[in-house]
Amino acid sequence: MASSGAAAIIIGNEVLTAKVVDANGPHLIQRLREVGVALRSLEIVPDEVDAIVDAVARARLRAKYVFTSGGIGPTHDDVTVRAVALAMGRQVVRLPEMVELISQMSRERGQEQVLPETLRLADAPEGAVLLAHPGLGFPVLMVEDVFLLPGVPQLFRSQLEAVLSRLSGSPVYLRVLYLGVGESAVAGVLDRVALDMPHVSIGSYPMFDPSLDYQVKVTVESGERDSVEEALARLQEGLPTGSVLRTG
């Protein structure tokens, strides 16, 4: 079992068939970065039990925290709960507290009976915990460090915030260099600094958009601010004269 970071699984045939453009993956990437939790992988899989089981098993090997998005509703294609249970060697059980919550919400809407299909929302892998949070209609379903989040973006975002409030991460410091020359002209300098400072992540991204005023964006990041500034200074010193248009 991995000891740090997070992995994500986006579940849904609608994403893989372009019926829906996934918004949850990009949002999760951004929010994890903001709270300082490294994202190790993000995978998109169909609404198929075997595919989800395999993805969950891989994700748990890569990272401490696993987020799933989608497949926890009341319809026939919502198979995430069953798949996660299988991946973790657990049975699917019906949570009494969820049954009560669903029944209460139905009564508030003037419904005398709860449909059997609606009660599927109370199913969970054995040993699951419900994370309540102010403002949430439904609590977050958690099994160990696997968080089962809904696919609807508005619901995903609100439940994600409830999870992130419980996680502890480390801030990541980032600086950027915008260069007016191509990668070939700066590759040697990047290689040297990256080799000398392996604890600093240096990325180089060529741009081919003629509307931009730079050709390459170089990012320098680390959990140590001083290391970022040192690497930035070494890059600026070694890069060709006049190649750095600006920093950020």
The reply to whether 53 falls in a domain is yes
pTM of the model: 0.87
Q: Do 131 and 187 lie in a common domain?
A: no
Listed residue (242, 220, 217, 223) closest to 233, CA to CA: 220
Rg (CA), the chain: 23
Tokens of 26: 């990009």
Query: Residue 22: what pLDDT?
Result: 97
* Domain match, 178 and 152 both: no
The verdict on 11 and 123 lying in the same domain is yes
Domain range holding 95? 6-165
Q: Is residue 118 part of a domain?
A: yes
Residues 100 and 48 in one domain: yes
CA distance 179 to 204: 10
pLDDT given at position 135: 77
Parallel/antiparallel/unpaired status of strands 216-222 and 65-69 = unpaired
Same domain, 132 and 213: no
Q: What is the DSSP string of 106-152?
A: HHHTT-SS--TTGGGGGEEETT-EEE--TT-SSPEEEETTEEEE-SS
- Contact between 79 and 111 under an 8 Å Cβ cutoff? The reply is no
Residue 111 in any domain: the answer is yes
Distance CA 248, CA 13 (A): 40
The string of pLDDT tens digits covering residues 84-113 is: 999 999 999 999 999 998 888 888 777 778
Domain end point (choices 148, 165, 182): 165
- What CATH number is associated with residue 75? 3.40.980.10
- 237 φ, ψ (degrees, to nearest 5): -70, -35
pLDDT for 1 equals: 54
Q: Return all residues near 152 (Cβ < 8 A) that are at least 6 apart.
A: none
Q: Which of these three, 165, 185, 206, is where a domain ends?
A: 165
Q: Are residues 105 and 137 in the same domain?
A: yes
For residues 50 and 97, state if they share a domain.
yes
Q: What is the pLDDT of residues 51-86, one digit of tens each?
A: 999 999 999 999 999 999 999 988 888 999 999 999
- Return d(Cα 240, Cα 248) in angstroms, integer: 18
Query: What secondary structure letter does DSSP report for 10?
Result: E
- Examine residue 1 and state whether it is found in any structural domain, yes or no: no
Q: Name the domain count of the chain.
A: 2
Query: Environment class of residue 136 by beta-carbon count within 10 Å: exposed (0-12), middle (13-18) or buried (19+)?
Result: middle
129 with 21, same domain?
yes
> What CATH number is attached to the domain comprising 236?
3.30.70.2860
212 & 241 share domain: yes
Q: Same domain, yes or no, for 234 and 203?
A: yes
The verdict on 24 and 95 lying in the same domain is: yes
Residues 177 and 159 in one domain: no
Q: How far apart are CA 188 and CA 144, in angstroms?
A: 45
